[in-house]
Amino acid sequence: MTAFLTRKRFALLMTGYAVVSIVILAISPIFGSERLSWNHVVGAIFSQTEHVEADIFFYHRIPRVLLAFLVGGTLAIAGSALQVVLRNPLAEPFILGITGGGALGAVIAISVPSLMVQAGPFSSVQVLSLLGCVLCMGAIYRLAKSAVGLSMNTILLAGVTINILCGAAILLVRYLVSPHMLVAMDRWMMGGLDVVGYRELSALLPLLIPGLILLFLQGNALNQLALGEEMAIGHGVNVASVQKQVFLGTGLATAAAVSLAGPIGFVGLIIPHAVRRLSGFDHRVVLPASFFLGGSFLTACDLAARTVVAPTEMPVGIITAMIGGPVFLRILLKKTRRCI
């Protein structure tokens, strides 16, 4: 590590973010729409007696908190990498168009009752959502690939266009299905983290782990790329390779998250900016810190979604949109003023 980022400073920063994450992860399962008797919850650990309150805690709340942390961290680290590669402070994972494909796949699965099956940890909604994400990612890659490498501008335009096309296809499906299915579609489109047990979590890992590894390895290259492509090339960075790895890592990780949690926006936009304000612009810090803070943020948002309107609950995507919308406008206005 350079003099600007010593091992001690790195360790202190990561410890701070990890402590915040641990506190939020420990607090979040305690609260919910249903009040629990902790005698029953703790007693279930040391005895063979089953109790509904223990089941709620261990098989509903804890898996949900873990899913929120993984999804939030994934979206945040993907956003931090995209903002550098696309050289756009407003970039986030959903700008690639992957969300549109995932949403279309999920809507098709929900609209056809015969497709609603469960195979191991995978549901038909998750499988078709994942398939839609992967197909859109492949289409964007083919459109953006040229003889000289990937065109970041083309990726941006292709992602926006594919999102629009998928949105139109979703409207067509909604028009054709019976009205009672619209509630389930709308619920999925708002983003949600309602899982039961740990089986669904295991379905995330095949794409999530390799995607996150690809992104975590790009810290030093992103530091060079943030100074400009010519500067990065001068320092020996293979810019085309970094772009491919960021695109692939973002696509895989986001596809895994979207297929299970639905389209949850703004996490990948606001968290990287918050981390850079708190800890600087070194992406060896920004990437892991974004994962910790993004996971903590979405976990806290889900806690609010479960408790603010108890005994019912609010889709977590509404909470993130209410927070992220004003932040998006603030960044947009700040960027516009710089251009004037």
Q: CATH number of the domain at 84, please.
A: 1.10.3470.10
Q: Examine residue 315 and state whether it is found in any structural domain, yes or no.
A: yes
Is 17 within the bounds of a domain?
Answer: no
Number of domains in the chain: 1
Query: Does a structural domain hold residue 279?
Result: yes
> What are the tokens at 231?
């500067």
Predicted confidence at residue 3, as pLDDT, reads 45
Least confident among 21-25, 27-31, 197-201 = 197-201
The whole-number average pLDDT for the span 227-252 is 90
Q: Report yes or no on 257 lying in a domain.
A: yes
In a domain, 11, yes or no: no
At 115, the pLDDT band (50, 70, 90 cuts) reads low
Non-local CB neighbours of 90 within 8 Å, separated by 6+ positions: 83, 269, 328, 331, 332, 335
Q: Per-residue pLDDT tens for 144-181?
A: 887 666 777 888 888 889 999 999 999 999 999 988 88
Of 206 and 47, the one with more pLDDT: 206
Query: What does pTM read for this prediction?
Result: 0.91
Residue 64 within any structural domain of the chain: yes
312 pLDDT band, cuts 50/70/90, is confident
C-alpha Rg value of the chain to the nearest Å: 21
Tell me how far the alpha carbon of residue 163 is from its chain's centroid: 17
pLDDT at position 296 is 97
Residue 264: closest CA among 110, 92, 131 = 92
Question: How far is residue 125's CA from residue 121's CA, in Å, rounded to a whole number?
Answer: 12
- Tell me the per-residue pLDDT of 42-54, one tens digit each, with 9 for 90 and over: 777 777 667 788 8
Domain enclosing residue 228, as ranges: 56-339
9 assigned to some structural domain: no
pLDDT at 284 exceeding the cut of 90: yes
The residue ranking higher by pLDDT, 173 or 339, is: 173
Residue 328 lies in a domain: yes
